Amino acid sequence: MKRAILLVLITAACIGASWGAYQAASSLQTAAPPLSRFVPSGALLYLQAKDFSSLLSDWDKSGEKQIWLKSNNYEVFSRSRLFLRLKDASNEFSTAAGIPPDTKLLRQVAGRQSALAIFDIGKLEFLYITRLPSASSMQSALWQTRSKFETRSAGGATFFLRRDPESGREVAFGVAGDYLLLATREDLLAGALQLLASGDARSIETEPWWSHSVAAAPAEGDLRMVLNLEKIVPSPYFRSYWVQQNITDMKQYSAAISDLIRSGKEYREERVLLRKTPATGDASGNGGPAGVADILRLVPAQAGVYEAKANPTPADSLALIETKILAPHLGPGVAEKLAPEVQLNGGETGSSTDLETRIDQPPVKASVAVDSAAPLQDLLAGNPVSAVLQIQSTELDKDGVFVRIHSAVVLLGQSDWNESAVRSSLVDFVRPSFTTGLLGVEWQKNSGYIELNGLWRLAAAARGKYLFISDNSDLLIALLANTNQKPTLTPAVFAARFDHQRERENFGRLTGLLDKPNGSAGAGSAPDFFSENIGSLSLALAGVSSEKIIVRDLGDRVNQTVTYQWVR
């Protein structure tokens, strides 16, 4: 019996010791310093992954990668100026290093925790650090070519350097313990090794834009990006290649940080943009932000895309109602960046039909029309809007040939809407386009809303502070059915969602008809922009069910949460 008790005590002691050793090892692993501590100051952009090798493996195995590389969208991108510049930089790196920077090399140098810091956008000068066992680092093709490099030392460690005299490109790499470092400048690698050895040099963590960004961010995600916008935005390369082209808006921010969190079928991106000067106004969630949270409860299940904004101006509200429902029209044409083509002919100028053109009379001037939008402008100016919601969805017609687009706009006023003024202002706006009298623009009452009695069934409803306008009665009824729902979102200045799974097929059908009115283009021609270029991107991301963004303005910073839902 005593032996049994003794055995139990010894076993318990061993388990306790093992658990203590495990906890100690875990704490040591957790206490490992972040890689940003070893990045010299002066970086413009910092990208860090908790497990880069796993992310790379997931991408290599994904169906999205295979579809993307075979897509029209990638084919167009591969002929773009940006792609060609990146290819030139890749060739320069290959010449300087003696090995190509391909996926094979990337897999060899991809460790777990990894960081990439970019110091010059135009020259693509970077420093890459990854935690990788030294045995794995020394099996890479990069290490095998070290005999072709010059040797240098910094921080008590040896590193290797090679220059291409023609392009001036430098490639430097080194191994220090379980760290593999790769850079395109000698001083960057030397600085990183010095920080690894003693921490005497000045790192990126000592810079205000970095510390302020990290302090404002939530918990670190699987992938983190930190940007020094004060230096990035003025760059001509940023102005040329930034896809959003909202340079003026970006000038108000000094820095930004974004964390991507992957969890099952949901990817969530938490962004924080720090303002140079705190915004004035109400950032507490009252007024417009609370109105956005309130108005979103009206969104019906069949919405393909919706967008809600806080505190729109009367002009913005009018423009939204006009372009989405009352009078959709084409906007101004995009300025051409290519010279016009020269059409060669037989040298003839003019035509015999030109003789019928009168040149001895001045052109007829159109009479000045009454501003039909004035009553609607006055209505919106008299009741400031706290929040506006726009909704669009598509459906096939009964014959299954054409795609119909339905739209609705909801305005949340600061006071109750005058239903009589709503009726008259809407009729005054649309009458000149449809009739010289009242044919088809008289209101008829339905269950809970009013509707025009003509071929175009414009529907509207005024429910206290809420004004509903739609070109489809079913969509309007669905909105009205949600008026008793309770808000579930906290105050926000902007919220939007796109149901990609619902709209993808209809988008392809609609743009296919619009892009090819005269049949398919010939072989070797550029793919049609909407149905083939954008359509192929939609196909590559068919696994993305929906995307949602919520923006909150906190005065000194703007928080954005972007959520991607995946089908699989």
Tokens (6 digits) for 203: 């790192």
| Distance from C-alpha of 300 to C-alpha of 229, rounded to nearest angstrom | 38
Q: What is the pLDDT of residue 204?
A: 95
Residue 219 CB contacts under 8 Å (≥ 6 apart), including other chains: 259
> Vertex 271, ends 267 and 274: CA angle to 5°?
175
Does an H or E element contain 547, and which? strand 544-553
DSSP assignment of 240-301, as one string?
HH-TT--HHHHTTEEEEEEEEEEETTEEEEEEEEEESSPPPS--SS-SHHHHHHHHGGG--T
| Distance from C-alpha of 278 to C-alpha of 556, rounded to nearest angstrom | 4
Tokens (6 digits) for 31: 């206490």
Tokens (6 digits) for 362: 């001045």
> Vertex 220, ends 214 and 223: CA angle to 5°?
110
What are the angstrom distances between the C-alpha of 102 and each of 80, 142, 228?
A: 20, 12, 28
Q: What is the pLDDT of residue 281?
A: 62
Q: What is the pLDDT of residue 9?
A: 31
Strands 157-163 and 45-49: unpaired
Residue 459, SS3 per DSSP: strand
Contacts within 8 Å (CB) and 24+ apart, 243-252: 252/276, 252/277
Report, as ranges of residue numbers, the positions in the chain whose pLDDT lies below 50: 1-30, 284, 366-369
The amino acid occupying position 553 is D
Contacts within 8 Å (CB) and 24+ apart, 177-180: 177/134, 178/131, 178/132, 178/133, 178/134, 179/38, 179/129, 179/130, 179/131, 179/132, 180/109, 180/111, 180/129, 180/130, 180/132, 180/137, 180/140
Q: What is the pLDDT of residue 556?
A: 94
Q: Which residue has the tokens 């890459």?
A: 128
| Distance from C-alpha of 491 to C-alpha of 487, rounded to nearest angstrom | 10
3-state secondary structure 17-70: HHHHHHHHHHHHHHCCCCHHHHCECCCCEEEEECCHHHHHHHHHHCHHHHHHHC
Distance separating the N- and C-terminal Cα atoms of the chain: 57
pLDDT, one tens digit per residue, over 288-346 is 899 999 999 999 998 999 999 999 999 999 999 999 999 886 566 666 666 665 565 66
| Distance from C-alpha of 58 to C-alpha of 111, rounded to nearest angstrom | 14
Q: What is the pLDDT of residue 434?
A: 80
Q: What is the pLDDT of residue 330?
A: 58
Percent helix, strand and coil across the chain, each to the nearest 5:
40, 25, 35
Q: What number of residues does the chain have?
A: 568
- Is residue 154 a contact partner of residue 208, using CB atoms and an 8 Å limit? no
pTM, 2 dp: 0.84
| Distance from C-alpha of 230 to C-alpha of 250, rounded to nearest angstrom | 9
The amino acid occupying position 3 is R
Q: What is the pLDDT of residue 18?
A: 38
Cβ neighbour number for residue 549 with a 10 Å cutoff: 17
* Boundaries of every domain in the chain: 33-206, 217-275, 278-326+371-568
